Amino acid sequence: MTASFHVEHATRASRICTAAFAAALVLLVAAPAWGGRDDLRLLSEIYAYVALASLWNLLAGYAGLVSVGQQAYVGLGGYVLFASTIEAGVHPLLAVPIAGVVPAVVALPVAGLLFRLRGHYFAIGTWVVAEVFRLIASQISALGGGSGISLPAAIVTEMASSRQMREFLIYWVALALVVIVLAAIVLLLRSRYGLALTAIRDNELAARSNGVDVTRTKLVVYVLTAFGTAMVGALIFLQKLRISPDTAFSVNDWTAFVIFITVIGGIGRVEGPIIGTPSCFSSYGRRLPISAAFICSCWAPSPSR
C-alpha cells in the first residue's frame, strides 16, 4: 500500500494574513491622500523604528550578537548621505543606498575586531566603536564639526520643487525601505543562512559541531545589518535636514529605544518589532520615555523557542 503525500506551500491562515497585509500596504501607500502632514511624519518615524528594531532583532535575536552600539551605523549612514550630497553633488534619494554601502564596507574591519570579544565584552565593544565614530565626526569641519550642519536649500529642493511633494517622497521611500527590510529578513530566515542562524540561536556549540560556519554566518548578518541600519539612518536625517554628532550617534534614540521595542514585541520573532513599535508610541504620536519603555519591557512575555 503506497502512502500519498500532499505538500502545502500555504495554509488558509497564511493566505488570509497575506491578503490582509496586501490590503494594509495599499492603504499605507495611499496615506498622502487621507493623512495630514503630522500623520505622514509619524508614520515615517514608525517605519524607521520598525526597520531598526527588525535589524537589531536579526542581529541579537538570531545571531546572538547583542549590540548596544547600532547608533554607529545610524550616524555613519546620516553623515555619508550629507557628505555625498554636499561634497559630491549626489542626488539626495540616490545617496540613501550609497549611505548603506559605505558603512557595510566599514563594518568588515570593525567585525574583525569585535568578533574577538564575547558576551558583554562584545556589547561594550560595539558601544566603544560608536563613540569612536562620534568623535571622528565631531572633528570633520567640512560637515560642521561638533555643532553639526544643515542640508543646503538647493539640495533640499533638488528632491522636489514643493514641500508637500518632498514629504510625500520621503514617506514613500520610508515605506518602501521598511517593506524591503522585512522582506529581506524573511527571505534570509527561509534560506540556508536562516537555518544556520536558528541553529546558532538555539545552541552555538551544537551548530558548530554539526558543520555550521558560525563566524561566517555572523559576519554576513553583521554586515547586512550595518547596511540596512545605515540606510535607515540616512533616511532619518534626510527628513530632519540637519545632523550633528550628538544626535546622529545617540545611544538612547537609536539603540536603547530599539532594544526596548524588540523586547516588548518579542525578541527572536519576525513580528516582534512590528508589534513593539506601536506599543512604544503614545496617542499623541510621541515616543515613550526610556523609563516608561523599560517598565513596559518588564511585563513583556518571554519569546517562544
pLDDT, tens digit, for every residue of 39-81? 899 899 999 999 999 999 999 988 888 999 999 999 999 999 9
Q: What is the dihedral angle through the alpha carbons of 196, 202, 207, 209, rounded to the nearest 10 degrees?
A: -170
Q: What is the pLDDT of residues 85-111, one digit of tens each?
A: 999 999 999 999 999 999 999 999 999
The predicted pLDDT at position 231 comes to: 97
The tally of CA atoms less than 13 A away on the side-chain side of residue 152 is 12
Q: Which of 270, 273, 279 is nearest to 299 (CA)?
A: 279
Whole-angstrom Cα distance, residue 249 to residue 136? 11
Q: Do 272 and 61 meet the contact criterion of CB atoms below 8 Å apart?
A: yes
303 — pLDDT class (breaks 50, 70, 90) = very low
Q: Which three-class secondary structure state does DSSP give residue 242?
A: strand
More confident residue, 237 or 62: 237
CA dist., res. 124 & res. 50, Å (int): 24
Confidence (pLDDT) at 7: 57
Between helix 120-137 and helix 71-86 the angle, nearest 10°, is: 20
User: Which of 13-27, 145-159, 191-205, 267-281 has the largest mean confidence?
Assistant: 145-159
What pLDDT is attached to residue 295? 43
pLDDT at res. 144: 92
pLDDT tens-place string over residues 147-199: 999 999 999 998 888 888 999 999 999 999 999 999 999 999 888 888 888 88
Q: Which phi-psi region, left, alpha or beta, contains residue 59 (left: φ > 0; alpha: ψ -120 to 50)?
A: alpha
pLDDT band at 17 (very low <50, low <70, confident <90, very high): confident
Residue 299 has pLDDT above 50, yes or no: no
> What percentage of the chain reaches a pLDDT higher than 70?
89
